[in-house]
A and B are shown apart, each in its own frame.
Chain A
Amino acid sequence: MLPSDSIERVVELFASLPTIGKKTARRLAFHVLRQPAENVEQFARALVDMRTYVRECTVCHTFTDTEVCGICASLKRDPHVICVVEQPSDVMAIERTGDFRGLYHVLHGALSPLDGIGPEDIRMRELIARLGVDMQEVILALNPNVEGEVTTQYIAKMASPLGVKLTRIARGVPMGSDLEFADDATLARAFEGRVPV
């Protein structure tokens, strides 16, 4: 038990964040206490501002400060190719590669009846609406688990009448590692997804 109720409250709040336990929360709280008051104020304001100003891009639904995000607004990017991902953090991951020149679509989740998530609860209708005649390719880059797989199949089913070319990212052996160290589940998947040379 801490001698101060306000410290206790901050610790509780920090501990409610993902991957932060009680011990780390206490460390963070004491660290904040030792900071100059203006730094703390800045920190608090940044949090509030983020919550106030960040919203979903009206086109791709990733998080942004503006009506349309920088990627969707860019003239240098290919608007005829869309990459579909589950979370805004996936956009960042793909952007880090610097190889993808198209646009994104963020679903904000995957189908999961156990969590009560159906097609209406993710940005599915918005995706279908984007698939016009001039769309050349839709790349599905969802997580390689049961829910991601089913969502991929669902999109394929909904998009197939529109005649858009649909592709999915490959699954297999990671770069820079030896085959003998790949686990057999991954290796088996890599065999299923083999390509002609």
Chain B
Amino acid sequence: MVIRSVLLAHVRNHEHTEIVCARDVNVLSGSNGSGKTTILEAISLCAIAKSFVPVPDQALIKHGFEDCTSTVEALRDLDVPYRISVRVRNGVRKRITTAHGSSLTPRDIIGELPMVALSPDHKSVTFGGPAERRAFLDGVMAQSSKRFTELLYEHRRLLKQRNAALQAGAFMHGDGEELDVWTEQFVLVSAEVVERRNRFLADVMPIVCSAYEAVSGSAETINIVYQPDVASHGTLATDTLLSSSSVAEAYRAAARMLRPREMARESTLFGPQKDEIAFMINGGLVRETASQGQHKSLLVALKLAECELLHERCNERPVVLLDDVFSELDRDRCARVLERVLAMGMQCFVTTTEGETVLKLMKEISSTRGGNIDISMITLEGGIASYVQQSELPLHQSAEAA
């Protein structure tokens, strides 16, 4: 996917901004608070129906206005145009419009415009708790499979319903049949989530390892260990594979065992919402043993692996958003990231406070690759964009060159 233009109306400090994008690299430069990241957020809104950083949707609306709209015009890898517009309003459901309809839900569009974002906020994936890692994994999987997106929605809904049933004392009526039925459905959906997560992580492992080697330039061993909650209740036979039927069986046993405690706590005490995905480096837990540099390399490696995977699964090159990574990563790592993203032929958007430095770096990379990289630099100030270097090639020509 290549984004041709982004249109922001009343998004944060942008009154009305239209950006025409270059085929390969778009450098967004400006001082703090000038509205660089907002452009990335607008793209994110059109890709995953929310910002890539955890903020409420309403925060995107410019102060003093009732709604904001982000519109992206893009070209799929097969040269089919794709247009999407997302409008956020206070207190009303988001209005998502594409050629397929004008009142779509987020799950209709997630994965259509594959996107990989890297921002300083994502440090929590390796530093933070299990919830951050689950959110990361689920995000990647949702973009690469509509069925998994559906499963996640079902799982979340069933969890809420089952908790409500426990709170309402559904086990009091009759012989607790109602709670049994909610439990069984929850078990079936949960087991499928576990099986899919397990399979996905096995697929992703070699890609993360090779990406880590490329980013860090060292031969440390990386391992991702899936620790599903189902294994912690002692009901899962240790030598079985994590197939949905064996997991479901283990969950059923766990549910019977936990029933009295669940009734007392009025809440569900098992399920994939308690899974942990442990990152290991040289045999030690990343969260406990890794150095700052290793954390950064791993995060970048994960994101590069995400790029590769989405490309493979969606049959579409993802758009890469790099938010202020140059202040976080050293020059070498940055160069490696950009080189790899460009080698995969993906369009990227880079925000930075030092536009000239990044532009120089880009030109260096460009010259090593035969100079056929299309770069555009946009300076922002107070939500107003101006071009320093315009895209050199008209889009259709550069697409052919790629």
Q: How far is the CA of A113 from the CA of B149 in the complex (A)?
A: 23
Cα-based distance from A136 to B181 in the complex (angstroms) = 25
- A188 neighbours in B (Cβ, 8 Å): 147
Choice from B108, B150, B173 contacting A119 with Cβ under 8 Å? B173
Alpha-carbon gap, A145 to B158, bound state (A): 10
Interfacial residues of chain B within 182-223, with CB under 8 A of chain A in the complex: 182, 184-185
B177, A157: Cβ atoms closer than 8 Å: yes
**Which chain B residue shows the least CB distance to A154?**
B181
Contacts of B108 in A (CB 8 A): 183
Contacts of A114 in B (CB 8 A): 160-161, 164
Name the prevailing secondary structure of the A interface residues.
Answer: helix
Report yes or no: A153 in contact with B161, Cβ–Cβ below 8 A: no
Residues of B with C-beta under 8 A to A147: 161
Q: Please tell me if A50 contacts chain B, counting CB pairs below 8 Å.
A: no
Report the bound CA distance from A146 to B165 in whole Å: 14
Whether B181 pairs with A113 at a CB distance below 8 angstroms is: no
Of A113, A153, A184, the residue contacting B170 (CB under 8 A) is: A113
CB contact list, A106-149 vs B, under 8 A: 111-114, 116, 118-120, 145-147, 149
| Docked-complex contact B154 and A158, CB < 8 angstroms | no
A134 to chain B, nearest CB (A): 26
Residues of A with C-beta under 8 A to B160: 114
Q: Across the interface, which residues of A come within 8 angstroms of B164, CB to CB?
A: 113-114
A194–B108 Cα distance when bound, in Å, is: 24
Q: 1/0 per position for B162-181, CB-CB distance to A under 8 A?
A: 10110110100100011011
* Nearest-neighbor residue (CB-CB) of A152 within chain B: B181
B145 CB–A CB distance under 8 Å: yes
| CA of A157 to CA of B184, assembled, Å | 12
In the complex, B369 has a CB within 8 A of chain A: no
Whole-angstrom distance between the Cβ of A62 and the nearest chain B Cβ:
25
User: Are B184 and A153 in touch, CB under 8 angstroms?
Assistant: yes
Instruction: Report whether A153 and B185 are in contact in the complex, using a CB–CB cutoff of 8 Å.
Output: yes
Number of A-B pairs, beta carbon distance below 8 Å: 56
Given A146-B158, A146-B161, A185-B150, decide whether A118 and B181 contact each other with a Cβ distance below 8 A.
no
Known contacts A119-B173, A146-B154, A153-B185: A111-B178 contact under CB 8 Å: yes
Q: Is B146 close to A, CB under 8 A?
A: yes
Closest to A112 in B: B161
Whether the Cβ atoms of B185 and A118 lie closer than 8 Å is: no
* B161 engages A150 (CB within 8 Å): yes
A116, A158, A184, A185: the one within 8 Å of B168 (CB): A116
Contact assessment for A119 and B161 in the assembled complex, using a CB-CB cutoff below 8 Å: no
B155 nearest in chain A by CB position: A146
Q: Of A111, A149, A150, which is in contact with the most chain B CB atoms at under 10 Å from its CB?
A: A150
Does A153 lie within 8 Å of B146, measured CB to CB?
Answer: no
B157 at the interface (CB under 8 A from A): yes
A183 to B150, CA, bound (A): 11
* A120 / chain B contacts, CB cutoff of 8 Å: 173
A154-B182 Cα distance, complex, nearest whole Å: 9
| CB closest residue in chain A, given B158 | A146
Q: Which A residue's beta carbon lies closest to that of B150?
A: A185
Residue interface bits B117-149, CB-to-A below 8 A is 1, else 0? 000000000000000000000000000011101
Q: List 11 A-B contacts (CB under 8 A).
A: A111-B182, A118-B178, A119-B178, A146-B158, A147-B161, A150-B185, A153-B185, A154-B177, A185-B149, A185-B150, A188-B147
Nearest 3 pairs of A and B residues by beta carbon = A113-B164, A113-B165, A184-B146
Residues of A within 8 A of B (CB): 111-114, 116, 118-120, 145-147, 149-150, 153-154, 157-158, 183-185, 188
B residues with a Cβ closer than 8 A to A are 108, 145-147, 149-150, 154, 157-158, 160-162, 164-165, 167-168, 170, 173, 177-178, 180-182, 184-185
Q: Besides A114-B161, A147-B161, 18 other CB < 8 A contacts?
A: A113-B161, A113-B164, A113-B167, A113-B168, A114-B160, A116-B168, A118-B170, A120-B173, A146-B154, A146-B157, A146-B161, A153-B184, A154-B181, A157-B181, A158-B177, A183-B108, A185-B146, A185-B149
